[in-house]
Structure 1
Amino acid sequence: MLFALVPLFAAGAVQAGPVQTSPELSKELVINSYQLYPENIDYDTRTRLAYISVLYNSTVAVYDPFTNKVTKTIAFDKLSYDPVLHASGVQVDPLGRLSVIVNAGAAFDTRGANISGDNFLVKYDLQSDRELWRANLTAVTDGVYSGYQDIEHDACGNAFAVGTWPSSIVRVSKDGKDATAWYLTDDKDHTKKGLTGLASKGDILLATEHTGSRLLRFDMKADKGVPDVVPVGEDGIGEWPDGIYLPSKFGGKVLLVSSQLEGTVVLRSADGKWTSAQRLGVVPNKFEKQGGSTTASVEIEGRIFVSTEWFGDAANKVPGTLSGNRTEFPLYDITSEVEKLLV
């Protein structure tokens, strides 16, 4: 998480004024935005805005949780609204810039059978409202590794993009000039679903792996990524893991794994070093019976919200568009449920 910046005031007389209070945040948020279809979400405590990847349109929705409105849509030249592309990972980096993964959707639609097409990491300046650069992640391995879908950063702003079909992590320098294969699985069978999500604490990079239901630990300072398996017990990290998240309110000791089937799996590392972890339980997927899939969680002003995706709607696209006709997308608060598991 990024922490709010404290404004500095010039020396001199301070005029009395009304006490500034935080606006109230609703417990249950329902975003009313036609065809939003959120894949991932990140909240910037400095701007108090959330950034949501709009899966099928390959755009980013700027969302104000206090007014419960999408205030803006960020589109990318020659990427957004392309039917073969999807937007997935989204995160504000330590330098205050927005990172977005725009991937070739075929790998996910065919579960790795077809990994053709380019995947990009796009860097966007939120202050000047313009794209800074984009890096072609597919070109790094000449298309042998694909399915890039999540993003993390080190303290300097260098990016780590995770690929799923098969497992890989590409490191991209903060200026976008250097993209290298940081971790590549030896098994190049791209029909085996691999790494799915990333989360970081200091120099520790955590990754979920679909095959084997494993949690892996990397050192971001290393020249190359070498994974260590983090023991979590026989139940593993959850079925069909998607995004993962380390809420700042728990000091980096609690990892939330979004399982598309189960809901939000809660893992804890007692010392926060993540050499081992305990699976504490699951907060169930509230919309499982309605066809919703848990894909991401996010901390907003000290509370944990879950984002739900409705992949099944893609089978019934609105003519002339890239997705279904859904308008309401819930963000529901699971803070109390997570805290109960921590007792």
Structure 2
Amino acid sequence: MYSTLSTSLTGLAALASAVSAFPFKLAETANCAAVSGTFEIENFKLYPENLDWDPIHCKLYISANFNSTVLVYDPYKATYNILSFDGITGVDPYHVSGIDYDATTKSILISANSGEPFVTSGSNMTGGNKVIRWDTNTNSAAYTVDLADFTSKLAIDNSTGGGYQDFAEDKDGNAYVPSVFHVPAIAKITKAGELSSWYIGEPSSSSKYMYLGIIFHEATNKLVITAPYLGTFLSFDVGSSSPAPTNISMTWPADGSYTASDLECDGLLNPVRYNRDILLCSENGLQAITLWASKDGFESVQYIGKVMDNSTTDIATWASPTATVQIGNSIYISHEYFHDLNEFDVAGNRSTFPFVDATADFDKLVLAAGFNVTDC
């Protein structure tokens, strides 16, 4: 069954549609019904970059990167709504890449960012960048913050920093938005939508990304962020009046199969299923999710293995794992397809996108390393 509903919002538009998809396996839990099993979503040019689960309304929010929209999936009806945004959706060079659920405000953070820095590997830093806080109760924007003022401060000497796709939120609902190219920096947005330059580091001549996947670790009140140009994870104390990065000690595999020069977590997740002690790093260049465990509040981490998704020939040939998400007691891998046209970061004509249940594979590595697995 197909249906369409259009609604006008101030500065935003929400387009809703419904489509059949392969069904989940469902079981009742205290909040949302539990979900397990691999599924697919049929949506033309979805190309998901990131995703997160709204545990209040039991919906999966997925960024449609090249469509510059957000797909909101209902697993119980196998239907979806599409959120489109005036001045963003269909307007080059906007992508919609980042998605994160903020438990404090019970809202979804959305990164509507320029695709130019990513398509050109940092040589073209032009284009608008906005962060939207989407109120899931009213289905409207609580704020839309333009990052232009922060970006202007990243023009240092001959470097122009910027490029945005990820964020994390602290226990007070503040969002932290890292810069991907040329200048390591983090913007802070309060839950009221006030923007500030929280941290700006020294420009780097490295050809690698500055900051990528980021999480907030509530037990220690700090951010953990991927710094590919340094080949390490870093932490930041969000309570500090003068935030500065601290290197996290990393124990790599002894056989040299995975080294600091490989570190490039396009997405980073510390699932509640593993008591927030395990990092799932989406290494799309390696076509794997690598697992990092900490026993000391992310003063240090140890590599405990990787999960490679070769579940179908199409995934093994074309897919890049860019994100993971926990839905109830299940953990899924989401894939982007960067090379469908044999040209990096350009949409092809794909309509079928898999979301792979890899819970058993992750659990096996976590348990083997001596860490606990906790059901919701």
What TM-score range do you get, normalising by the shorter chain?
A: 0.7 to 0.9
Match of 1:336?
360
Give per-residue Cα distances to partners, 1:161-220, cap 9 Å, x unaligned.
1110132210011111x2111122202548541101111121121101122331111111
In 2, Cα distance between equivalents of 1:99 and 1:196:
16
In 2, Cα distance between equivalents of 1:338 and 1:326:
28
TM-score norm. by structure 2 comes to: 0.79
| TM-aligned CA distance change 1:24 to 1:245, over 3 Å | closer
SS of structure 2 residue aligned to 1:165: coil
Offset at residue 134 of structure 1 (A)? 1.3
In 2, Cα distance between equivalents of 1:188 and 1:269:
29
| TM-aligned CA distance change 1:129 to 1:314, over 3 Å | farther
| TM-aligned CA distance change 1:147 to 1:141, over 3 Å | closer
Match of 2:176?
160
1:199 aligns with 2:215: yes
In 2, Cα distance between equivalents of 1:147 and 1:275:
28
Choose which of 12, 28, 45 in structure 2 pairs with 1:21.
28
In the alignment of these two chains, the number of paired residues is 317
Choose which of 124, 138, 141 in structure 1 pairs with 2:134.
124
Offset at residue 228 of structure 1 (A)? 0.8
Match of 2:274?
250
Match of 1:11?
none
| TM-aligned CA distance change 1:210 to 1:66, over 3 Å | farther
In 2, Cα distance between equivalents of 1:181 and 1:196:
17
Match of 1:5?
none
1:180 aligns with 2:196: yes
In 1, Cα distance between equivalents of 2:34 and 2:190:
38
SS of structure 2 residue aligned to 1:108: helix
Residue pairs, 1:1-343, within 5 angstroms? 21-22=28-29, 23=33, 25-69=35-79, 71-93=80-102, 94-142=104-152, 144=155, 145-166=161-182, 167-176=184-193, 178-189=194-205, 191-202=207-218, 203-234=221-252, 235-236=258-259, 238-262=262-286, 263-271=288-296, 273-286=297-310, 289-313=316-340, 323-342=347-366, 343=368
Residue identity opposite 2:353 in structure 1? F
Offset at residue 261 of structure 1 (A)? 2.0
In 2, Cα distance between equivalents of 1:293 and 1:278:
24
* 2:206/2:229 contact within 8 Å kept: no
RMSD over equivalenced CA pairs, Å: 2.1
| TM-aligned CA distance change 1:224 to 1:329, over 3 Å | farther
| TM-aligned CA distance change 1:215 to 1:132, over 3 Å | same
| TM-aligned CA distance change 1:254 to 1:58, over 3 Å | same
Offset at residue 274 of structure 1 (A)? 0.3
* 1:97/1:124 contact within 8 Å kept: yes
SS of structure 1 residue aligned to 2:362: helix
User: Which is worse superposed, 29-38 or 303-312?
Assistant: 29-38
TM-score norm. by structure 1 comes to: 0.86
* 2:40/2:353 contact within 8 Å kept: yes
Give per-residue Cα distances to partners, 1:279-329, cap 9 Å, x unaligned.
011101436632211100000111110000001136689xxxx83211111
Give per-residue Cα distances to partners, 1:99-125, cap 9 Å, x unaligned.
111111110011111111221111222
Give per-residue Cα distances to partners, 1:205-261, cap 9 Å, x unaligned.
110112233111111112343111111124446543201001001111001000012
* 2:226/2:264 contact within 8 Å kept: no
Residue identity opposite 1:53 in structure 2? S
Residue identity opposite 2:180 in structure 1? T
* 2:251/2:303 contact within 8 Å kept: yes
Match of 1:17?
none
| TM-aligned CA distance change 1:157 to 1:314, over 3 Å | farther
Gaps of 5+ in 1: 1-19
In 2, Cα distance between equivalents of 1:25 and 1:132:
29
In 1, Cα distance between equivalents of 2:49 and 2:355:
12
Residue identity opposite 1:171 in structure 2? K
SS of structure 1 residue aligned to 2:150: helix
Residue identity opposite 2:28 in structure 1? T
SS of structure 2 residue aligned to 1:265: strand
| TM-aligned CA distance change 1:307 to 1:206, over 3 Å | same
Offset at residue 334 of structure 1 (A)? 1.3
In 2, Cα distance between equivalents of 1:316 and 1:201:
37
Residue identity opposite 1:29 in structure 2? F
In 2, Cα distance between equivalents of 1:124 and 1:267:
31
Match of 2:19?
none
